[in-house]
């Protein structure tokens, strides 16, 4: 469809959550904004392929995710960089206690496998349905559900329970490969 004013406004309206998603994925504010810029250019260049009436945010998130994936394969994510840069993106610094809790959460989130992290963010923070998240990630709805559950369990183990060993990588991988019943 052509780039109408209203479509342009809708794209603009999606930018804040695209940035939030990009930062959650990359853990790096600068790279996140590059990713958003690339996403917008890609979207605008391919605007003809957008189906009027379909879910615009989901379409944009799909583009961003795919760009991140191909970028990720090229250069590995700089995990050490993540916390400092992320904190810089905050306009107001949270209080010290909240800040500590926030960093802890961020660190735990960074420990999740990428598949699980993106599924959790799409469903738990961006507010997409399981169906939309599945279409964004190009996988089955059941896979998304299972990833979200894994992600939550692992976060809980890392943050709120001693004995994170119970949710070690082996267990996680086995569960993902085996597919979980619920």
Chain contacts with other proteins (rule: CB under 8 A): 3, 5, 8, 11-12, 15-17, 19-21, 23-24, 30, 33-34, 36-38, 40-42, 44-45, 89-91, 101-102, 105-106, 109, 120-121, 124-126, 149, 152-153, 155-156, 159-163, 166, 180, 182
Report how far residue 164's alpha carbon sits from residue 111's, in angstroms, rounded to the nearest whole number.
12
User: Please, what is the minimum distance in Å from the beta carbon of residue 132 to other proteins?
Assistant: 16
User: Please, what is the minimum distance in Å from the beta carbon of residue 51 to other proteins?
Assistant: 20
Please say which residue, 102 or 130, places its beta carbon nearer to other proteins: 102
Please say which residue, 73 or 91, places its beta carbon nearer to other proteins: 91
Report how far residue 157's alpha carbon sits from residue 65's, in angstroms, rounded to the nearest whole number.
27
Please say which residue, 53 or 163, places its beta carbon nearer to other proteins: 163
Q: Which of 47, 110, 116 is nearest to 83 (CA)?
A: 110
User: Please, what is the minimum distance in Å from the beta carbon of residue 37 to other proteins?
Assistant: 7
Place of tokens 């959650």: 24
For residue 45, the Cα-to-chain-centroid distance in whole angstroms is 23
CA angle 115, 159, 92 (to 5 degrees): 85
User: Please, what is the minimum distance in Å from the beta carbon of residue 95 to other proteins?
Assistant: 13
Work out the end-to-end distance of the chain between its first and last CA atoms, rounded to an integer number of angstroms: 40
User: Please, what is the minimum distance in Å from the beta carbon of residue 30 to other proteins?
Assistant: 6
Please say which residue, 131 or 166, places its beta carbon nearer to other proteins: 166
Alpha-helical (H) ranges within the chain are 5-26, 29-45, 56-74, 79-88, 96-111, 114-124, 130-137, 141-159, 169-178
Please say which residue, 55 or 149, places its beta carbon nearer to other proteins: 149
User: Please, what is the minimum distance in Å from the beta carbon of residue 137 to other proteins?
Assistant: 17
Please say which residue, 37 or 114, places its beta carbon nearer to other proteins: 37
Length of the chain in terms of residues written: 182
């Amino acid at each position: 469809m052509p780039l109408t004013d209203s479509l342009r406004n809708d794209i603009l309206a999606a930018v804040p959550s695209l940035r939030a998603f990009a930062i959650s994925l990359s853990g790096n504010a600068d790279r996140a904004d590059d990713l958003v810029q690339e996403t917008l250019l890609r979207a605008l260049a391919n605007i003809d392929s957008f189906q009027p009436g379909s879910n615009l945010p989901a379409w944009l998130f799909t583009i961003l995710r795919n760009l991140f994936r191909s970028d990720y394969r090229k250069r590995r994510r700089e995990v050490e960089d993540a916390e400092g840069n992320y904190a810089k993106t905050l306009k107001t610094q949270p209080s010290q206690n909240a800040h500590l809790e926030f960093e802890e959460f961020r660190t735990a989130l960074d420990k999740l496998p990428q598949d699980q992290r993106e599924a959790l963010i799409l469903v738990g923070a961006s507010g997409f349905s399981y169906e939309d998240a599945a279409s964004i990630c190009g996988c089955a709805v059941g896979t998304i559900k299972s990833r979200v559950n894994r992600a939550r369990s692992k976060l809980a183990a890392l943050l709120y329970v001693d004995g994170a060993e119970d949710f070690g990588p082996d267990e996680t991988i086995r569960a993902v490969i085996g597919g979980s019943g619920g």
